Structure 1
Amino acid sequence: MMEKEKKEELPIVVSWVGSTDIQRMRKWMNYEFLKDKSPEEKEKYEIQFKESRTSPEPEENRKNGPIRTITDDIKTQKIYLLCSKEFSKYKDDIEVWVKRGNKSPVHVIETEVNDPTSYEEILKALIKFHDDYFDEKKPSLYYFNITPGTPAMQAMTLFLAGSRFIGSKFYATRDPRYASKDNRYYYPVHVPYTLPSALTTPTSSTSTTIDYDIRQDVLTHYAIYPSITILLTGESGVGKTEFAKEIHNAQKDSKPDNFIYVNCAEIATDPSTFSVELFGANKGAYTGLTSNRTGKFELAQGGTLFLDEIGEIPFSMQSILLNAIQNKEIRKFNDNKIIKLKNVRIISATNKDLIKAVEKGEFREDLYYRIAMCCVPLKPLREIAETDETSFKKLLDDTLENIVKEIPDFKDYAKVDDVAYEFIKNQNWPGNLRQLHHVLLLSCVDAVQSKAGKITKAVIEKQLSRMIMPSSKVEEVRPSEDPDFIPSNLEEWLLNKKIEFVKKALAKAKDNVSTAKDILGCDYQNLNNFVKKHNLK
């Protein structure tokens, strides 16, 4: 059983069959063919071979063509070789040739590629390979050798690295003439994932660049690949945990019980507690532990580990997490036995600006890039209301639906009238979805007590007026129609209002400061300095 598990952890090499490999194979075949020939026959055949550029040559380590440069050098689980129509006649010979340097199974796949320079034919062949042979649960096992084949084959293989073969490794081989101690015969090619720029560009935690089309794109195209780490950013209450669960549920074979939630702020009190919570501990590993304790990483095998508030982990402890994510292995507390991690999807969340934290030396840059392969900034509720009413209406309806699931007795009361809807839409909602949920839940209670058929504006106003928010946000919650309203901190209130109007002007001007200053009727230099100071672009 152990031998089988070890074999299943070996890499799977994938490569096109190229002309250089065919030529090198034929040279060896000709060498073998001439072994038993007389001098006269050798001379005759050598002339023919020379004309076809396949002069006899014996096998030579690391000079057996691009495919065998890698397959001769490493142990593999299996080898897939994609073959165009042109080389399909060599199918059996290729298998024998590659097996001379590697004893694992060799599968030569005859594709429908007639023209090895046709991007369309090559794309179809690679997609068919993906659908027939690629295991999306274990993408990191696949080693793609991109050197063999035509430039079109290389280009399309790399192109699909960012959409179909996400999480796999890509290698290129070096011409033996240029290989040396410092320049290995083959080397990794690091391919950035071709996700939409809004998902990969580092943004502040309050960024509002993402729209719901991209959010759906994450669920449809990227959630199915567990090897992609995802960082969710945004203000408190925007629904990061709920979206993390949606991503988890979009994975194949996902189950509710292997979505493992971790509040990093709670467990990062000291290195020992942090390690025990994440990696577990065996009975007796520390005083008072009377039974084995399973860590969060192990519980998340085959599922999702959701690291909420990851920005709260002290710098001194971040290396503990980095090692586990980077090496895909853990050790239980006070235990040297290595536990390999299999298919643990990492989703992290924060309301902090991690880019600034990296710049200040408060967050490790290497950890950031490990957890933020795909960065998804979630919009605050107020901006969704301003820019996408359809999505806002859906969020409102979903919130009411969830309330009914929590308390079925509210079924006939969990709806808002038109006036209340407009009022809700025009509030700032500093607590975002969480605050909206609480206000609507309490409003349902009022609606039940008064036997009203719907939630009214007056009920929403009452609940908002009773809700105590942090002092810096109290003014935002007060209904703007209140004629007696006076801000408790005038300077802060004015600054927030100025930021609000500048943001609106920039949105209308498509982030062009020169156009925005005409909308606002102010000086360009002062506006530009204000935008830079408050990171409004």
Structure 2
Amino acid sequence: MDLTIDNLIGTSPAMRTIRSEAEWAAKSDAKVLLTGESGVGKDIVARVIHQQSARRYMPLVTINCVSVPDSLLEPELFGHVRGSFTGAYRDRIGLLETAHKGTVFLDEVCEMSPRMQALLLRFMETGEIQRVGSDRVQSNVDARVLAATNRDPQELVAAKTFREDLYYRLNVIDIRIPTLRSRREDIPVLFEHFLRRYSERRGIAVPAMAPDALNAILEFEWPGNVRQLKNVAERLIVRAQHSLITLADLPPEVAGCPRPAAIAPPAPKERAAIEVVFDRMVKQRESFWSAVYPEFMARDLTRSDLRFIVKRGLQETSGSYKMLVELLNMKPTDYKRFLNFLRKHECHVPFERFRSVRGRQPPTREPDFPDVCVPDSPNDSIHESPIVIDDARR
């Protein structure tokens, strides 16, 4: 199944940017470096770029550099001749030649050894490869290179474990995919999407969510990002015995995360201090920008404190961020500034839990509030093989 830009679902600011960058990358032939934690969807973005590019009808070859031993990575990428090593019973072309006129996607490229980095750099600069055991150079191999890493390549360059010249060769177009926890407003829409997908595959109605179960989903940190969220949704549908998902149905690590109350209370002494700050805005009509912002930037208020204030306000406004702006004495024109501030510091709180929960219905959306967007793939399973060849000519 072909992927389009629309498979990068949603309209949240972060994903709107990614969709725009992916569309731009698809129109060019430049090298792309995708960065982000494991599970955020780097491989899906790479597939979208390839399948929307002029190379879409030629192969997309994917190799996970960390899953292939270094001794095997060179012959896999560059090929080998018969007798070049034990088990080389015949000549074999490498993946770069297989991807001729198409695209090669190097996942976890920063895990390459120094020798492999040098060989890759040579190919990227000259288009030349040399099969293992051969003294002849193959030239004019035309494969576009997309690469991804879950590490910070600049830190690796500074530590001299990743070649600086290779980094700059790869980093023509830099697409950074944020974590799911940094865009928490994405979680409910994503979860609804995955529940619908797996329900349709099983031919069952989409289960409703009990309020405490929904709260647990929204509060969990999701260290495995979208991949983990998708797996949890699939598990719930596979094991579904009734039409309501309860807290007991969730995996223990997810169910045990939230506190029972919709607002997670700090310790009594801390809560009293935060309530004073909240009252300064609500009762004494002091602006958020003077009551909270300076103390937060000076680290006198923590992220937990700020989230508590936001939750406290959303409880008062029944989940409306626009009313929250007014409640905290900000101008209506501060709406976007306020939301961007919360996102930047990972303090945005999903508003759905403060509104009525409706079974089998998509989450209510705040008017003019950015929807969720996230990479989505028609293939749910993670490829067990470190090498995948997607050849549109077959």
**Same structural fold, with TM-score higher than 0.5 when normalized by the shorter chain:** yes
How much has 1:396 moved relative to structure 2?
3.0
Kindly report which structure 2 residues correspond to 1:444-483, keeping only aligned pairs within 5 A, or say none: 444-447=237-240, 450=241, 452-460=242-250, 463-465=251-253, 478-481=256-259
| Distance in 1 (alpha carbons) for counterparts of 2:54 and 2:192 | 27
Give 2:231's aligned residue: 438
| Distance in 2 (alpha carbons) for counterparts of 1:434 and 1:373 | 27
2:59 counterpart of 1:258: yes
Greater relative contact order (Cα 8 A, min sep 6): structure 1 or 2? 2
Q: Which has the larger radius of gyration?
A: 1
The change in CA–CA distance for 1:436 and 1:302 in structure 2 (over 3 A counts) is: same
| Distance in 1 (alpha carbons) for counterparts of 2:111 and 2:170 | 14
Give 2:49's aligned residue: 247
Instruction: Judge conservation of contact 2:215–2:258 (CA < 8 Å) in 1.
Output: no
| Distance in 1 (alpha carbons) for counterparts of 2:256 and 2:248 | 13
| Distance in 2 (alpha carbons) for counterparts of 1:344 and 1:288 | 27
Select the structure that is richer in helix.
Answer: 1
Give 1:65's aligned residue: none
Kindly report which structure 2 residues correspond to 1:105-504, keeping only aligned pairs within 5 A, or say none: 211-226=14-29, 228-255=30-57, 258-270=59-71, 273-385=72-184, 389=185, 391-400=186-195, 403=198, 408-409=201-202, 411-417=203-209, 419=211, 420-447=213-240, 450=241, 452-460=242-250, 463-465=251-253, 478-481=256-259
The change in CA–CA distance for 1:224 and 1:429 in structure 2 (over 3 A counts) is: same
How much has 1:221 moved relative to structure 2?
1.8
Identical columns (%): 28
Give the secondary-structure state (helix, strand or coil) at the position aligned to 1:318. helix
Instruction: Judge conservation of contact 1:261–1:307 (CA < 8 Å) in 2.
Output: yes
Instruction: Judge conservation of contact 1:268–1:314 (CA < 8 Å) in 2.
Output: no
Instruction: Judge conservation of contact 1:403–1:441 (CA < 8 Å) in 2.
Output: yes
Instruction: Judge conservation of contact 1:264–1:308 (CA < 8 Å) in 2.
Output: yes
Given residue 444 of structure 1, which amino acid in structure 2 is its aligned partner? I
Given residue 331 of structure 1, which amino acid in structure 2 is its aligned partner? Q
The change in CA–CA distance for 1:247 and 1:331 in structure 2 (over 3 A counts) is: same
How much has 1:266 moved relative to structure 2?
2.5
Kindly report which structure 2 residues correspond to 1:88-107, keeping only aligned pairs within 5 A, or say none: none
| Distance in 2 (alpha carbons) for counterparts of 1:265 and 1:287 | 22
| Distance in 2 (alpha carbons) for counterparts of 1:210 and 1:360 | 33
Given residue 150 of structure 2, which amino acid in structure 1 is its aligned partner? N
How much has 1:401 moved relative to structure 2?
5.4
How much has 1:372 moved relative to structure 2?
1.2
Q: Deviations over 1:113-153 (max 9, x none)?
A: xxxxxxxxxxxxxxxxxxxxxxxxxxxxxxxxxxxxxxxxx
Given residue 380 of structure 1, which amino acid in structure 2 is its aligned partner? T
| Distance in 2 (alpha carbons) for counterparts of 1:314 and 1:513 | 46
The change in CA–CA distance for 1:413 and 1:324 in structure 2 (over 3 A counts) is: farther
| Distance in 2 (alpha carbons) for counterparts of 1:292 and 1:212 | 44
How much has 1:335 moved relative to structure 2?
1.7
The change in CA–CA distance for 1:401 and 1:283 in structure 2 (over 3 A counts) is: farther
Give the secondary-structure state (helix, strand or coil) at the position aligned to 1:265. coil
Give 1:109's aligned residue: none
Instruction: Judge conservation of contact 1:413–1:444 (CA < 8 Å) in 2.
Output: no
How much has 1:291 moved relative to structure 2?
2.4
How much has 1:296 moved relative to structure 2?
1.1
| Distance in 2 (alpha carbons) for counterparts of 1:243 and 1:413 | 30
| Distance in 2 (alpha carbons) for counterparts of 1:249 and 1:264 | 22
How much has 1:397 moved relative to structure 2?
4.4
The change in CA–CA distance for 1:330 and 1:513 in structure 2 (over 3 A counts) is: farther
How many positions carry a matched residue from both structures? 264
Q: CA RMSD in A?
A: 3.2
The change in CA–CA distance for 1:353 and 1:333 in structure 2 (over 3 A counts) is: same
Structure 2 gaps of 5+ residues are 1-11, 262-287, 303-344, 347-394
Structure 1 gaps of 5+ residues are 1-208, 468-476, 484-507, 523-535
Given residue 175 of structure 2, which amino acid in structure 1 is its aligned partner? V
The change in CA–CA distance for 1:299 and 1:362 in structure 2 (over 3 A counts) is: same
